[in-house]
Amino acid sequence: MSELFTDRLWKRVEPIWHAYLEHPFVKGLGEGTLDQEKFKHWLKQDYVYLIDYSRLFALGSAKAEDLETMTVFAKLLHGVLDLEMDLHRKYAAEFGISAEELEKTEPSAITVAYTSYMLNVSQRGGVENVIASVLACEWSYHFIGKSLASWPGALDDNFYSSWVKLYSSNEFAELAAHCKRLMNKIAEDKPEQELKRLEEIVIRTSQFEYMFWDMVESRAEWPVNQK
Ligand SMILES: Cc1ncc(CN)c(N)n1
């Protein structure tokens, strides 16, 4: 049996994704010691990130050439809007932040750069660009969730255990698996040159993921504050 495209991708992204586990923000989540002001920054930035991320699934559905692919993108869209963003809304309520307030968050420079990159790549290409753009996001969070779930105490009752539980859950695993299956199916008949191009999108988005962790750790917004 020939190698799956996602196995090939894994070899390229593995060093980047292992660096996430060494990142102070991610470590703080797993150890339950993360500064809540930093987490609040993640919560707000990630909420507006996920709004644009959802648009990608809607775009994937519109660009799909068959009903099966259209349905997978629709399931992924539902997964973000309901399952994942519900986690954000619940945490926000604990901070006394309403869903409306979350939605009004001003996206930071990195949030804009990351979502604009994915939207640009996806709008310029076919369904293969869309799935390559969204893959690292869904798959790497599940990788992080599963890794943190094996750390001592990460699933015990602490402020961040709901975070670890969601991203290591079977429901979230299924969303990541949908993305991987779709990526492999679409890659099946693609020439090497095209596979290389898709691989680069996955590497870039993996790098953006690291930059997003950095941004929330330092609570960065824009370099010059106008307020
Ligand atoms: C930045 C980012 N990347 C990935 C995920 C998981 N969907 C997320 N919520 N936020």
What pTM does this model have?
0.97
CB-based contact 122:61 (threshold 8 Å): no
CA 174–ligand 1 middle distance (angstroms): 15
Ligand 1 atom closest to the Cα of residue 114 is: 1
CB-based contact 153:225 (threshold 8 Å): no
Query: Is 137 a catalytic site residue?
Result: yes
C-alpha closest to that of 30 among 127, 112, 149, 171: 149
C-alpha closest to that of 95 among 162, 50, 40: 40
Residue 227: predicted pLDDT: 63
CA 164/CA 194 separation, integer angstroms: 35
Residue 225: predicted pLDDT: 76
Domain ranges across the chain: 5-217
Give the pLDDT confidence of 13-46 residue by residue, as tens digits: 999 999 999 999 999 999 999 999 999 999 999 9
The parts of the chain modelled with pLDDT lower than 70 are: 1, 226-227
The CATH label, of 3.40.1350.10, 1.10.760.10, 1.20.910.10, 3.40.250.10, for the domain at 5-217 is 1.20.910.10
- Three-state DSSP at 129 gives helix
- Tell me what ipTM this predicted complex has: 0.99
Question: Whose Cα sits closest to atom 10 in ligand 1?
Answer: 46
Residue 2: predicted pLDDT: 83
